[in-house]
Amino acid sequence: MRIHFSGLSKQELARRETLFHVANGYLGMRASFEEGVPTELRSVRGTYINGYYDSAPIHYEERLYGFAQTQQSIVNIIDVQGMDILLDGERFSCFEGTLDNFEQQLDMRRGVYTRDITWTSPKGKQSRLVFSRLASFELQQLLLMQVAVTPLNWSGTIRIASSQHGDVVQDYDLNDPRKASVGKKMIDVKEAVIVDDLMLMTAKTTQSKLIMASAVAHQSLAELQRGYTAKGEVNEAVFSGQIKENEPLTLSKYCVFTDERRFAQPREAALKLIVQARETDFEGWVKKQEDFLRAFWRHAGASVTGDEALNASLTWSMYTLLASAGRDGIGNIASKGLSGEGYEGHYFWDTEIYMFPFFLLTNKDIALQLLKSRAAMLPAAKAHAREMGHQTGALYAWRTITGSECSAYFPSGSAQYHINGAVARAFLTYYQVTGDLAFMAKTGAEILIETARLWMDAGHSHKGQFRIDSVTGPDEYSCVVNNNYYTNRSAQDHLKGLVKLCADLQEQGLLDQVIEKTGLAQVELDAFWKAATSMYLPFDEELGISAQDDAFLTKARMNLANIPKDKFPLLLHFHPLYLYRLQVCKQADTVLAHFLYEEGEPEEVIRKTYDYYEEITTHDSSLSECMFSMMAARTGQVEKAFSYYRASAVLDLEDTHGNTADGIHAANMGGCWMGIVFGFGGLRLHQDGLVFRPCLPDELKGYAFSITYQGNLIKVRVDSQAARFELLEGQGLNITVFNQQHMLKDTLSVPLNG
């Protein structure tokens, strides 16, 4: 369970900083070199706290009512990575002298990243340096670093200057709308001091005025002289002494971060936590990582056989999802996780549709915290609804950190009302999978009611049909349309699911507390049900397919074969209005609706709809190929499904979109897991339970995955002969495999041909 690269590539520095970043859901640190790199090379040196942000006004030359007013951006916080190393007077650098060996590895069983180097200095002195890092899953405020230096053909002096640096700026790109356009400084250092043998620094964001603190301590068994200095925005600890040939010298660096959103007094909390952290040595923290990950992999393990590269991608995807997900009800999952500043650290619908299913079926505790994070945004969602002209209900922001809308381009931002459906689906499927009615009564029902009220205010009844006009669906190449199929279908599922939930709450005597909190009345529930059952879902009788919206199929089709490859993604080369006038899709839209809401949909419609939209989809979004893989498997096109799946799974490890340097594609990682479980495994969460339609592409020998449903831990193994289901924990349950219901009490084997 490792990803590994050999050799140093100057052109790949930033990409590998992303691939080997360490994170734990609260903290993330890119894999920048401790000793630094030449300024002419691209390196994004960054450390981030989930949900710690700065804000700035959004400037419009022509600002209209209701446009988003404030931008929020994840902050590149205090830099603690620096270690300047002098070996017998020569400064270590991977860009001077000779690299005899250079290896980078992330061990996903131990939760440790290592950089193993054999280096010969310009004067011919050879040394081995092993840098190790971890972001603790046990103590989430802790990042731990270590360097082990071994002289191989010399003895002499060593000097390590370890720094804590507050003069940091954001990454930027003037030509990419997915990144900030200004490399500005977002934190001001308020205090940089030495407290006994600790380096302490506090800072405040320039606009949001949020305080953070960083405390750094060191540990070494060697006899070293120590000196500490604090100057301006830099604290430094210098360790010097003698080192002998073939005898390793190790220095560990403990780095604690706290922020005002979690701690009332970040400075005091950091000092307390750093004392706690250094009571355990580096190997002790590694042991804690191993214990945590052992439990994680038992419930989250998924694998493929027959393609080691795919298996590595799948494992890395699951591990990185864990590293990216907030676990405190404050942080959610940024679209780049905690690996970079792409999309400015914003949370999108990506969480609920592409990443939440992984946690829902493997780690319900994290799934619950993600829901609590959304629940905390409800006041901001209500305020956003009022900004958008709605007198009632809540509209979740399209892109945000705290809940307020941060998208300056409303056609592909605030107009994407379907985020309400994504949030609703997460709460409803959580209830289905866990049966946690108490949480739904306390928290979930209110979210579902307020977001349902938004649908009622946004839509209207016309000739007996409930219609929702002027919205944007998942396909951002068609904006502000009437009756987007995906949006209407998600609203329908939301409204029906809420009515059924309220019936369950009533049966258990829990509805009264929901009514008291929300003012819900029976007449309102009746209106929800009427809107759901009369929902207008566009359909083209001639083609026999679900129409993406009222006008989409009347437009001219874009001939994608005539578009030069260097013009993709289209959003970087064509004006939005040009794209809006054509039948061309950025990603799965109606096809995604058939994935999520297949119950009651005719098989022929699902297949024809998939085939039609596949021909006009560019997959310019990293959310697309994984979905087309799953639906290709669903429609019996298994080899096509594998082709899409492989393209999706290796997106970051092979940098197929050319922007992994900016951070991971977290939603695609969720899609990598879903591609096995929901794609080849054919899993669907139907109202009456789990449904499986497993298949196996010729390129794989088999695959396996584990899921937990209603307290039952199930292991699924598929090979060329059969799909085998094993109950590892729980009382047993009914499952449907190839339209045949079975009672799973211990093991079950079903021939793969159904």
Which residue of the set 352, 405, 446, 476 is catalytic?
476
Spatial distance between the Cα atoms of 667 and 588, rounded to a whole number of angstroms = 14
Cα torsion 96, 99, 104, 110 to 10°: value is -100
The secondary structure element, H or E, covering residue 311 is helix 308-324
For residue 227, the 8-state DSSP code is E
Contact 63, 13 (CB under 8 A): no
End-to-end CA distance of the chain: 33
Q: What is the CA radius of gyration of the chain?
A: 27
Contact 43, 124 (CB under 8 A): no
Spatial distance between the Cα atoms of 167 and 286, rounded to a whole number of angstroms = 31
| Residue 17, CA atoms < 13 Å, CB-side half-sphere | 29
For residue 677, the 8-state DSSP code is I
Spatial distance between the Cα atoms of 437 and 534, rounded to a whole number of angstroms = 28
Helix runs in 340-484, H state only: 350, 356-362, 364-376, 378-387, 418-434, 437-439, 445-458
Measured between alpha carbons, how far is residue 23 from residues 80, 104, 166, 237, 336 in Å? 15, 16, 20, 25, 12
Spatial distance between the Cα atoms of 451 and 417, rounded to a whole number of angstroms = 10
Is 405 considered catalytic here?
no
Lookup result for tokens 């289905």: 432
Measured between alpha carbons, how far is residue 652 from residues 288, 309, 657 in Å? 28, 12, 8
Annotated catalytic residues are: 476
